Structure formats: C-alpha cells, structure tokens
A and B are shown apart, each in its own frame.
Chain A
Amino acid sequence: MIAAARCIVARDLLLALRRRSDVATALLFFVIVASLFPLGVGAEPNLLRAIAPGVIWVAALLSSMLSLGRLFAADHADGTLEQMLLGAAPVGIVAAAKVLAHWLVSGLPLVAIAPLIALQYDLPAPLYGTLVLSLLLGTPVLSLIGAVGAALTLGLRGGGVLLSLLVLPLYVPVLIIGAGSVDMAAAGLAPAGQLQLLAAMLVVAAAFAPWAIAAALRISTE
C-alpha cells in the first residue's frame, strides 16, 4: 500500500517535472492576480496592508483551483486512470497519493512565494509566519476538497468553469479561517485558534476526502 502510494507520487512528480510550464503558469497566475488588486483598488499603503491577507489567500485559492484540471485529466484521457481503479491498491490510497503529488507541485510553491507577495503589500514582518503557516495548512485542504470536484467533473464539457462553481462554495470556510488567522495576528491577537482549526480541517479532509474522491472517480469512469 505504501509502495503503491510512493510509486504514484513519484510518477506524478516526474510527469509534472516534464511539464514544467504547466506548473509555472499556475504560479505566475498567483502572482499576477495578486498584482491586479492594487491596480484595481489603488496603492494606498494602509488599504493594501489591510486587504493583503485576504487577497493573498484568494489568489492562492484561485490558482490552486485552476490547476485542479490537471489532476485526473491526463490519466483519464489515456486510460491510465481506469487501470489504477482496477488495480490492487485501494482507490483511496491512489487518490490520496495523486492529491499529495498535486499539492507538492501546485500548492507548496504558492506557500513559498507568498512572502514575496506579502512584501508587495507591505505586510508587517511579524505576520509573515502566520501567513505562511496558514497557507501551509490550508492549501492541502483546498487540494483535497478540489480533487473531489475534479473527480466529479471528469471529462465533462464546460469542465473548468463548472469545477469552479462546485468547489468555490466548499472553499469558503478554509478561506475565512485562513485569512482570518492572519487578520487576528494583525490585530495583535493570537492566531493559534484559527491555525488549530485549519490543522483540524486538514486532518478531517485527509481522512475523508480520499474516500469521496474514490467514490467520485468510480462514478465518473463507469
């Protein structure tokens, strides 16, 4: 079981490495979206400092969501996905492994770049830690929830936009708690509560999402 998971993670990482442009465009999207907000609302430093946590979180959320299409599409197109579903490894493990690989490639880089964006918004230095930690805990949850949507919309016309419509309402609690944690820190209060809540969401999502993803994959490939 562990061997199967390791194998799938390694395979997906290798495939992503060969398609570096896909990964890079998702990151670029994150940076561009975050740069659009000041252009839209004005460069008033106090305003930007106030909206920074929310903007960074929304940009990370959107970027993470856009890269979900890649999660199952390629394997579904060439039949590998059905082979995986028929294989010996439990489908839940397969799903969890694919989501892990996806997060390593699409979510973790966002966490790494977030401080640069925070710099653009002149976020006070003490808040960087909370921001990075909240994204570190939150982006895997987004990947897990998003994977359920990706599995449900496998091969459908209007896939990308439909996926957004399905998944964004489910993202709302993660966004609220994640951005809220940084806001709490900005107000001088301890963000521990929100961060613990994010950690709890991660645990619950990691426990239940693979099962839902497996069920969705079976529904979509029959």
Chain B
Amino acid sequence: MNWGGWSEFWAMGGYGFYVWGSYGVTFACLALEILFLLKRSHEAKT
C-alpha cells in the first residue's frame, strides 16, 4: 500500500484539482440522483 500522508493524498502529485474535481463532481451527481429518487419515491407513496 502506498500512503504518503494526507497532504500528499489531497495534492495527488500536483494534479489534485483534476482528480478531486472529477471524483467530487461524480459523487455529487450520484448523490443528487439518489436524493432525487428518494424525494420522488416519497412523493409517489403519498
């Protein structure tokens, strides 16, 4: 396992913006989809 510490993890060898920009938007999109589905499911059951 290669672990160089948190600061190195966030920096990602200088590419932090791109890597975390990708992962961040992805997780945000998936989370939004799940939230929308939960909301729709709640409304459909009423």
Report if A and B touch in the complex (beta carbons < 8 A): no
Which residues in A have some Cβ–Cβ distance to B below 8 Å? none
